[in-house]
Amino acid sequence: MLDSPLIKYRSYLDSLKTRYNPHEKFNVNCGLEAIHGKLYRRYHENTGKKHTRTAQVTGKHPSRPTLSPQGSGKPFNQKTKIMDQNNLLHLKQEMRTLGFREDLTVQMEKNMEANLPEFTLKDKVEGVKSELELNIYFRQSSQSEFYYLNKFEVLKAEERPLVQGETYRVSVDGASGQLVQNFETAFEAVGFFRAQGEPTTLAIAKGNDIQPLVTVRDGQVILIEKDFAKTFRSPEMPQTFWVDRGKGFAADQAVNLVEGRSVYRDDMLTQGGQEYKAWFKMDLDGPRDKYQNFTMNQYHDPSYGFNLSEVLDKFAIKELDSPKSREVLENALKNGDRAPATVEKDGQKIKVYIEAVPRYTQINMFTDQGKSEKREQFLKDPAKVKEMLQSKGKEKGASTEQGMGI
């Protein structure tokens, strides 16, 4: 007699009119173990049911998927362990390519071993202007044991950042009871808080430990934690960077973009699949898009007319004397770094920090304290100072064609 779950499942297939491999037809004498794995998973995902029966792989049918001994409802076979290791190796390589720290990769592996359906890794980096936070998002496929890294976020660190185990919690007291919602960022929490009625409380929660920050009662917003005032008035919004199998802006490039510097990419594709090169700069003065991200201005190379090597050659920079040190300097500038360089001022060698400014086909220079230096004083040919001053402030139109990996 056919098992009842199998009858229901075959009815489900008929309703979907699903096509499956004719070489993987059902054998009713083999029970659930003979069901095609992918369609079986879809059935249980759509019905919300899990069949916890444990099945064994036999030598007679080694290719048939079996149910997880843990009752997860996800099929596996003798290759599952190898496939999981391959997934882990690929993600480790993606983490390295994107420039995330090694200890984050260790955390990633532990979360994968725990079989979490999704998880977020957090990091902090010291930028030129401020401390920034990174949120790296992982999600497990609903069709397999595989995990994917599709995006990460960068935002300026909050005055009172969350520590491990803490979340922002919004509690709304209503007629039908209390609604409690947790958030990872102040931006999300404050937005949700403001959209609610009253009485509502925004707090930081860690287990049973609740630290109220702000509440609204009788139409009045009451700040309980004064240090949260600035964050509450203007919470930092994250910038999302999408990646595809490790391809996209690396972590340090993303930080540089958020801090307002320009990054060079030579691996871009148009929507039509055409390769191109361009400088990118985030439009921090413009409005955010429908996904709450700043848009990117692109300055195509070579059509826009900014040649970094030629611009650098106008200045008496010591690092340009050596091909190796020149390459290091140019690569750092293309990465969006504020790169150190040696120049001469008042007869003495001093260190300055340089940024590429493709929008104005120029570079900017700063002292080690971050104060702006007049770049004209470091030109090789003083006669070109007037020419440079005339070009100062002139702006070329920026190409805004969007490519892959933004």
Tell me, yes or no, if the pTM score tops 0.85.
no
Extents of the domains making up the chain: 4-78, 81-156, 167-232, 260-406
pLDDT grade, residue 390 (50/70/90)? low
* pLDDT over threshold 90, residue 203: yes
* pLDDT over threshold 60, residue 395: no
For position 225, what pLDDT does the model report? 87
- pLDDT tens, position by position, 320-374: 999 999 999 999 999 999 999 999 998 899 999 999 999 999 999 999 999 999 9
- Which pair of tokens denotes residue 377? 């004083």
